[in-house]
Structure formats: structure tokens, C-alpha cells
Amino acid sequence: MRVTMEDVAREAGVSRALVSLALRDAYGVSDSTRDRILDVAERLNYQRNALASGLARRTTNTLGVFLLDLHNELFADIYDGIRDVATAAGTELVLSVGSTGGTLDKPGLDALVRAQVEVVVAAGLLLSDKELAPYRELTHLVSVARRVPGADNVVSNNELGAKLAVSHLLEIGHRRILHLAAPSSDGYRGRRRAFSRTMKAAGLQPQILVSDYSRADAARVLGPVLDSTDLPTAVFAHNDQTALGVLDALHSRDIPVPEQMSVIGYDNTSASRPPGIALTTVDLHGEELGRRAAEIALARMDSPDAPPMEETFKPTLVIRGTTAPPAA
């Protein structure tokens, strides 16, 4: 049987109440008894039952974290940022992981609600605004990387990022640019929209292809285009993962990068630095976003009724080896 607070109390010859106080070093416990209690607790390997504790305190002082996909390092970056500030604040995290399809969003969020977290920081939500609405009553939501109406939001300016990427390509002379977009869903249309807008503003025809978030699918989707007669001279991929898929497809057809084809990714994860051919990419500063989201979440714990907070980060273009002027 697990060792309970009662066990510690008995062993130390005091009441449970006193043990409870001593363990959270509250005032009003004499030094000597506190020391004795802590000694006993340590000796018995006592660990407080978080269920009972949270139930009794009517608050868990805990932050829920939802991450869309563990295979995409962007979420590891975001998590690092969140953990950093949560740890400093002494707030525990409760995690839950989704999937690129989005089918695990709901179960994941539900689990966090059931765990009674004070606030949930969700990175990469795929649920529609409508499906997300009920959660506004169940918990406080801080959405990262995706704008959710009515919630707290920590996002990156995707319009700007896409514009940065496309402008770079335009500047070095590209005209036929293909955008490999992610499936269209609420809150994730900024890159695609800015791509189209920027192309049109330059008097060019935007060409868009859609793949899911996986490297393999990106390569697959791009295939037919590469096998056709008139190729684009540059591809702007939705993220680094899919950019890798683009590079795969290109490599398997012996199309040299950047000589015959320029490629730009998005996220600046370490996947964007395959040795030799480092990806030009847009850095959305995941760790920073995570950090800020956690700060907002902590602030939200203190003032549940403050108006929604919103913060938009500016992405930056990281020019590396996969972009060059088009072949003459």
C-alpha cells in the first residue's frame, strides 16, 4: 500500500493537519517538529497524493499543455519555452498529445479538463473554431500558433512570414513559384493567403498544392508536378517537414537544389539543417511563443476575468542554402 499522510503523521507523532502544513512549509509549525516531520516523510519516501490534494484545495495549480505532434520538433521547442517559465513559477504541467489528423484534439483537451488544470496552453489545435467553442466554458485556453476567437492567443504573423518567404524568392528573380500548403482549416490560412496575395501583387499566378503535414505526403503530392513539362522554379513549403519531402522528391529526380529549384521551409526546426543543404526557412521562434504563452497562462490564473490577451510575434526569414536565383 502506498504511504499516506496519515502514516507520516503517526510515525512523527503529530496530526495530519500539521504534516500538511509542514510539507508546504507554512507558518505556525515549530522548527523542531517541522524538521522531524520532513525527516519522516523523506525516510518513508512519502509523495503527496495529488488527486486528494487537488480535490481538497479546489485548485491544482497546474497548467495543461496540448501538443499537436511529437514528430514535429516545433512542438518540442514550444514545450521547452512553456516548461521554462512554468518551472520557474513552480507550476506543474500536465501534457496531452494530439495527432496530425486532428482526431485526437478533442480527447486530448477533454483529458486536460478532467485533470482539472487551471489553464490549458494548446499548441497547434486543429479543431474548428466552432468545435472549440464549448471549451471556452470548461477551461481557460491559451492557443499557440493558431488564433482562436475569444481565447488568449500567442501567434506568429503567418502573413508576414509567408510574405517574407515569397518576397525573397521574387527578389532573387523567381516568377513561377509553387506553394505546398497544409490542409485548409480554421486559423491556418494565413500563409496560403499571404502567398496568393503577394504573388498577385507581383502580377503573378499563384499555384497551390495541398499535402498533409507529413514529409512522405509532401513528396508524393509534388511528384506529378515535377514530372510534368513546365516546372516551377521555386517551392514554398508549409513547414520544414514538408520542405524535406520536397527535397526528397527533388533529389529522387536528380533536380539540383538550389540550381534548378529553390526551396523554402517554415519553422526553423533542426530538421531544416540537413548537413550540406541547409534549408532557407522562416523562423517563428517556437520557444519564445511557448514562453510567452506560459506567462499569459500564469497571468490568466491570477485574473480569470481579464479581457482576452493576444500577442503576435514577428517571424524572421533565415536565408540558407536552398534558395538562389532561377536558372537562366
Judged by the rule CB under 8 A, the positions of this chain that interact with a copy of itself are 2, 45, 47-52, 54-55, 60, 70-71, 73, 75-76, 79-80, 83, 92, 94-97, 110-111, 113-116, 134, 137-138, 215, 244, 247-248, 250-251, 270-271, 273-277
Of the candidates 1, 43, 3, 41, the one whose C-alpha atom is nearest the C-alpha of residue 20 is 41
Q: Is 126 helix (H, G, I), strand (E, B) or coil?
A: coil
Indicate which single residue of 10, 44, 53, 321 sits in contact with DNA (rule: CB under 7 A). Answer: 53
47 vs 229, beta carbon nearer a copy of itself: 47
Q: Does 138 bind DNA (CB under 7 A)?
A: no
Q: Does 23 bind DNA (CB under 7 A)?
A: yes
75 vs 188, beta carbon nearer a copy of itself: 75
How many residues sit in the footprint of DNA (CB under 7 A)? 29
- Residue 29 CB, shortest distance to a copy of itself, in Å, is 22
β partners of residue 155: 312
Rounded to 10°, the helix 16-23/31-43 angle is 90
- Residue 271 CB, shortest distance to a copy of itself, in Å, is 7
21 vs 120, beta carbon nearer DNA: 21
Indicate which single residue of 30, 87, 103, 270 sits in contact with DNA (rule: CB under 7 A). Answer: 30
Question: Which one of a copy of itself, DNA, none interacts with residue 314, CB within 5 to 8 A by kind?
Answer: none
8 A C-beta contact, residue 231 and residue 295:
no
Residue 315 burial by Cβ neighbours in a 10 Å radius (0-12, 13-18, 19+)? buried
Rounded CA-CA distance 277/322 in Å is 6
- Residue 4 CB, shortest distance to DNA, in Å, is 4
8 A C-beta contact, residue 159 and residue 148:
no
Rounded CA-CA distance 243/104 in Å is 25
Rounded CA-CA distance 213/97 in Å is 16
Which stretch in 50-58, 216-224, 284-292, 306-314 sits in contact with DNA by CB under 7 A?
50-58
Question: Which one of DNA, a copy of itself, none interacts with residue 121, CB within 5 to 8 A by kind?
Answer: none
Rg (CA), the chain: 25
Q: Does 117 bind DNA (CB under 7 A)?
A: no
Q: Does 28 bind DNA (CB under 7 A)?
A: yes
Sign of CA dihedral 48, 54, 57, 61: positive
Q: Does 61 bind DNA (CB under 7 A)?
A: no
207: cell is: 499555384
Q: Is 239 helix (H, G, I), strand (E, B) or coil?
A: coil
8 A C-beta contact, residue 103 and residue 76:
no
Q: Does 261 bind DNA (CB under 7 A)?
A: no
96 vs 280, beta carbon nearer a copy of itself: 96
8 A C-beta contact, residue 243 and residue 74:
no
Q: Does 128 bind DNA (CB under 7 A)?
A: no
Positions touching DNA (CB under 7 A) are: 2, 4-6, 13-18, 20-21, 23-24, 27-30, 32-34, 48-49, 52-53, 55-58
